[in-house]
Amino acid sequence: MEVGGRLTLVEASFAVRAGDKVGLVGRNGAGKTSLLRVLAGDDPPAAGTVMRRGNLGFLPQDPRTPRHAAESTALRHVLAGRGLDELAERVEKLRIRVDEDPSERNVARFARAEETFEREGGYAAEAEVRRITAGLGLASDRLDLPLRVLSGGERRRVELARILFARSDVLLLDEPTNHLDVDAKQWLMGFLRTYRGALLVVSHDLALLDEAITRVLHLDDAAVDEYRGTYSQYLEARRLDEQRRAKLATRQQAEISRLSTLADKMRGQTEKRARIAKSLDTRVARLRAEAVEGPKKQRRIRVRLPDPPHAGRTVLEVEGLAKGYGGPPVFEDVTFDVGRGERLLVLGLNGAGKTSMLRILAGQTSQDAGDVRFGVGVSTGYYAQEHEGIESGRTLLDHMRAQVTATDQEHRDLLGMFGLPGDMAFQDAGTLSGGEKTKLALAQLTAGSHNLLLLDEPTNNLDPPSRDAVAAALGGWGGAMVLVSHDTDFVAALEPDRVLLMPDGTVDYFSDELLDLVSLA
């Protein structure tokens, strides 16, 4: 595979068969998302062959709703996974035609269509869809709404439900637990344990990997290593493997050094010793060609945020805010304020309006009622959970230049701090993985030198070391934040001052007892 001019995989061969449950792991940027896209047929490989058999279900990290489906209800969209939406529409049209003209031909056509619909499970389909979506934590009444009015988390659940409902022979799932609460994760784990097809999953949710998989593919440095067993067993096997490689590499380098030193001593002496030295040089060259590399240290990032510019005592005031999408309001009469340096956590179930609230505060959409007022000297930075601000066709450097005036080297240094090295600066941002897009969005926030951050699930798609680094940086930052997150450890590290409970708009002081609710958010 080649991504942005970089080879991320060379000469890899593996097979995933029916009943196999495989976890694909590796650091952010190793190429996991790109590999899934190639396996799914969305992108071509630079070389090699991918053979797929049976129906394929592919859940990308950022599933986009097609324009033609935006007005479709969530229920119809899931039913379309097996083509039952069109079958149901055909049966209904033929039924109306029979009512208008009960000819033998029309009755026969209706009977055949109804038989096909019944054979495909059409009459039980809606109940099955509602069972799957309920398991994934999507309220039944949300299924009857157009896709365009659903939150990002709800749309992702709908896409996952569509794939599971389709009864695919092969599942390729990229971070399937993003936006899922604890109960929904447990339901998904149970589903995947009993799934009889072939499963390849990318996830930073270690519990999912431990319970659902039986084999691990580790992708790093353009190579794939295979390990049998659960994720915990893989970690132990890889630790032992790295110990073995480290010892072997040390012994090989010691032998190369010994032989090289010996050859150097013999060189320039007698003719016999010169021949021995040449023989030793040949042995050294062979050893170097066959030498193994010791394990590389895990790449860690250290994030440092600039001190926020000074702002007035109150940075944000919200009064009587309301928002709806053509039906009943998602929330109404929400009132709160945020003081200088204060951290406000927004809690609520999917569909409670958390993302809608942040989009209104960021000026991305308008409210139906109420006022939003910013304080003196306030500079606002918005992190969108679906990376709407990251555009294909523009390089990483272009995205950084759009944030603040600085030298290209300063921009590249900032990208490097977030684990996006200098050789990626001219890469198309559309080719980035979900984790890399998260890092680019956070680098843009940092470049903006803001004193109020609106953060909507900022740890989604990050690997554990990167998540810890971002949490540590934000935890020590002195600016104000309005935060939406279901990551319990991340919220605990940030230590919010107050909590806004949606959709009611109740404001209270935060306590550790509320951490149990964070994973349900």
pLDDT tens digits for range 478-519: 999 999 988 888 899 999 999 999 999 999 999 888 887 787
DSSP state of 184: H
User: Hey, which residues does 218 pair with through a beta bridge?
Assistant: 25, 225
- pLDDT value, residue 509: 93
Query: Which CA distances in Å does 85 have to 79, 114, 197, 259?
Result: 5, 13, 24, 73
Query: Which CA distances in Å does 485 have to 117, 153, 354, 401, 519?
Result: 42, 12, 10, 28, 8
- pLDDT value, residue 172: 94
* φ/ψ (deg, to 5) at 390: -100, 120
Sheet holding 331-339, edge to edge: 331-339, 314-323, 369-374
Q: How far apart are CA 297 and CA 188, in angstroms?
A: 34
Q: Where are the beta strands (DSSP E) in 94-177?
A: 170-174
* Buried/exposed code over 463-489 (b: 16+ C-beta within 10 A; e: otherwise): beebbbbbbebbeebebbbbbbbbbee
Q: Which two tokens stand for residue 35?
A: 């590999």
* φ/ψ (deg, to 5) at 349: -70, 165
> Rounded to two decimals, what is the model's pTM?
0.67
Bond from prior residue into 45 cis (ω within 30 degrees of 0): no
Per-residue pLDDT of the chain (521 residues; tens, 9 = 90+): 887 777 888 999 999 999 999 999 887 778 888 899 999 998 899 999 999 998 999 998 777 666 666 678 888 889 888 888 888 888 888 888 888 888 888 888 888 888 888 888 888 888 899 999 999 888 888 888 888 878 777 888 898 999 999 888 999 999 888 777 777 888 888 888 888 999 999 987 777 778 788 899 998 888 888 888 888 888 788 788 878 878 888 888 888 888 888 888 887 777 788 888 888 888 888 888 877 676 665 566 677 888 899 989 999 999 999 998 777 888 999 999 999 999 999 998 877 888 889 999 999 889 999 999 999 999 998 988 777 778 888 888 888 888 777 788 888 888 888 888 777 888 888 888 777 888 888 888 888 889 999 999 888 778 778 888 888 888 888 999 999 988 888 899 999 999 999 999 999 999 888 887 787 66
- pLDDT value, residue 377: 92
Please, which residues have CB within 8 angstroms of residue 1's CB and are 6 or more apart in sequence? 7, 8, 9, 31, 34, 35, 38, 45, 46
- pLDDT value, residue 296: 63
Going by their DSSP bridges, the two strands 170-174 and 56-59 should be labelled as parallel
Q: How far apart are CA 239 and CA 161, in angstroms?
A: 36
Distance of CA 323 to the CA centre of its chain: 28
**Residue 104 DSSP SS3:** helix
Phi-psi region of 234 (alpha: psi -120 to 50; beta: other; left: phi over 0): alpha
Question: Residue for token digits 């040449």?
Answer: 278
Q: How far apart are CA 75 and CA 98, in angstroms?
A: 27
Contact 73, 146 (CB under 8 A): yes
Query: Which CA distances in Å does 302 have to 8, 68, 416?
Result: 24, 43, 10
* Buried/exposed code over 102-140 (b: 16+ C-beta within 10 A; e: otherwise): eeeebeeebeebbeebeeeebeebeebbbebbbbbbbee
